Amino acid sequence: MTPTNDPVEQALDRLTRMSEQLTRASEEQARRFDRQAKELFDRTESATERALERIEKELRQQIAALKREIAQLERRAQAARKEVAKRAAGRRPARKAPAKKTAAKKTTARKTTAKKAPAKKTAAKKTAAKKTTARKTTAKKTTAKKRSAA
């Protein structure tokens, strides 16, 4: 550009230089913004990764603790089963005692067999009644005998 004395051209030159300066400044600001955005993104990404690592570590610890607790509960349950089995084994002779009570009931059954003897007497009386059915007067006498025997 050649220097001219025309004030309009001088104003245009100044506007052109100012425009170029503004363009460079805005480009620089855009680059700075991009850098800052990238840094922020990188920091956020690394913070997220660290947080995920911490969460994963905590989860692993809690899972390990739960596994230990489950194993402990299984051992306690197994010990409780053994204890119940021992108690049940200790109670089994106590269950034999009611079997002895049933033996006492058997003696009661013997008493009922003793009651069967009068039934035989009744059967004998019936046979006697059959013999006397031929005579009506004798049948009346046998009924009188039954009442006196009772």
**What distance in Å separates the CA atoms of residue 9 and residue 148, rounded to the nearest whole number?**
165
Q: Are 122 and 115 in contact (CB under 8 A)?
A: no
**Average pLDDT score over residue span 25-37:** 96
Model confidence at 150, pLDDT cuts 50, 70, 90, reads very low
Model confidence at 87: pLDDT above 80: yes
Give the chain's largest Cα–Cα span.
Answer: 180
What global pTM score does this model have?
A: 0.40
Whether the Cβ atoms of residue 26 and residue 18 lie closer than 8 Å to each other: no
pLDDT at residue 99, as a whole number: 54
107-138 pLDDT tens trace: 555 555 555 555 555 555 555 555 555 555 55
Among the residues of the chain, which ranges form H helices? 7-132, 136-149
Which of 5-9, 10-14, 30-34 bottoms out in mean pLDDT, i.e. has the lowest? 5-9
Residue 59 has pLDDT above 80, yes or no: yes
Q: What residue segments make up the domains of the chain, in order of their start?
A: 7-109
Quote the pLDDT of residue 136: 53
What band does 98 get if pLDDT is binned at 50, 70 and 90?
low
pLDDT at 50 exceeding the cut of 90: yes
Distance CA 118, CA 126 (A): 12
| 39 and 45 Cβ atoms separated by less than 8 Å | no
